[in-house]
Homo-oligomer: A and B are copies of this chain.
Amino acid sequence: MNHFTQFENKSLAEQLIEEALKYKSDPRQHISKGLGKRVGCIFLNPSLRTRASTQIAALNLGMDPIVMNMDKEGWALEMQEGAVMNKGTVEHIKDAAAVLGTYFDVLAIRAFPSLSNKQEDSEDFVFNQFIKYSGVPVISLESAIRHPLQSLADMITIQENIIAGHKPKVVLTWAPHIKAIPHAVANSFAEWAIGCGHDLTITHPEGYDLDPKFTKGSKIEYNQQKALTDADFVYVKNWSAFDDYGKIHCTDTSWMLTEKHFKNAKNAKVMHCLPVRRNVELSDEILNGSRSLVQKQAENRIYAAQAVLSKIIE
């Protein structure tokens, strides 16, 4: 595995899930594996879970994690080839990424989308500049279009909660929000759920269709109630429009899940990547109740990152 940026194939996903569960049972079993190796965690955007879980994963392998908040401790990076840098940007990604590649064995990078330049975001332009110029393995800590460590943690969580011998129905449902939110978590969840062979239904108001390259192989259902029927796992997430890029079309609060939404899915578990806006995206009733797997997902972020780091440094 050179980089960890997306779902690759079912076999690798299964390996990573298995490895992660082994680490969860004994986190420091390979405490010498990464000795003398450094991972640079580069944040162009804020983070809580991702920062902490990646640091912990590295420490569990004996690696030295060094965090750099480029947006706060560093300076603005220039991304355009050939730019005459006589404005606000202080260093070109070419130079910064190459230096970081010299300093670290692995880079882990968070780079959110603009939500205004659809083409650049769709090409994962900023994130790919790091890959292009750093020359070392790169792990995505959420790019413009994917959040694969989250999805790996989600697959681990589903695996832990599956009822043996029953193929679960997995539903990804849009939820209301007050801001325009990236597509990365939704895209990646769809990509991984489909890739891992789950039966995936995606439900959202019309106008919120995700980029079809991520949803091919799923069923799209605009009626949330229908989608939820017989669901085993319901993944809740807001995203802004993809076609009318980055816009908010619907704020219909009836899309926020409460207990009454589960009348035809009595045993369904509810998932969310966090942070969650309570009583906007998801009700207190659900989050405080026994359906919620959100804390387990967060915990599994550590072991997802550890499995990936362990594989990358092999």
Contact = CB atoms under 8 A, between A and B. Distances in A.
Contact of A86 (B55, B66, B277): B277
Interface string A49-91: 1011101100100001010111011110010001111110111
Contacts of A302: 103
User: Contact residue range for chain A?
Assistant: 35 or more
A44 interface: no
A38 B66 contact: no
Nearest to A60: B36
B40 A52 contact: yes
Interface in A70-119: 70, 72-75, 78, 82-87, 89-92, 94-96, 98-100, 102-103
Contact of A52 (B43, B103, B178): B103
A265 interface: no
Interface in A239-268: none
Interface stretch (A212-220, A221-229, A292-300): A292-300
A288 B38 CA distance: 27
For A47, A85, A295, the residue with the greatest tally of chain B CB atoms inside 10 Å of its CB is A85
Given A96-B275, A275-B90, A280-B85, A299 B102 contact: yes
Contacts of A96: 48, 275
A46 B66 contact: no
Given A90-B277, A99-B295, A48 B36 contact: no
A116 to B, nearest CB: 21
Interface of A is mostly: mixed
B279 A85 contact: yes
A43 to B, nearest CB: 8
Given A59-B64, A96-B275, A295 B78 contact: no
What number of copies of this chain does the assembly contain?
A: 3
A274 interface: yes
B75 A46 contact: yes
Contacts of A287: 94-95
A286 interface: no
A284 interface: yes
A288 to B, nearest CB: 8
A72 B59 CA distance: 23
A28 interface: yes
Nearest to A176: B86
A173 to B, nearest CB: 18
Nearest to A292: B95
B86 A74 contact: no
A83 B92 CA distance: 42
Contacts of A49: 99
Given A43-B73, A49-B99, 16 more contacts: A31-B36, A47-B74, A48-B96, A52-B66, A53-B103, A56-B66, A78-B278, A85-B280, A86-B178, A90-B275, A91-B275, A94-B278, A95-B278, A95-B295, A102-B298, A102-B299
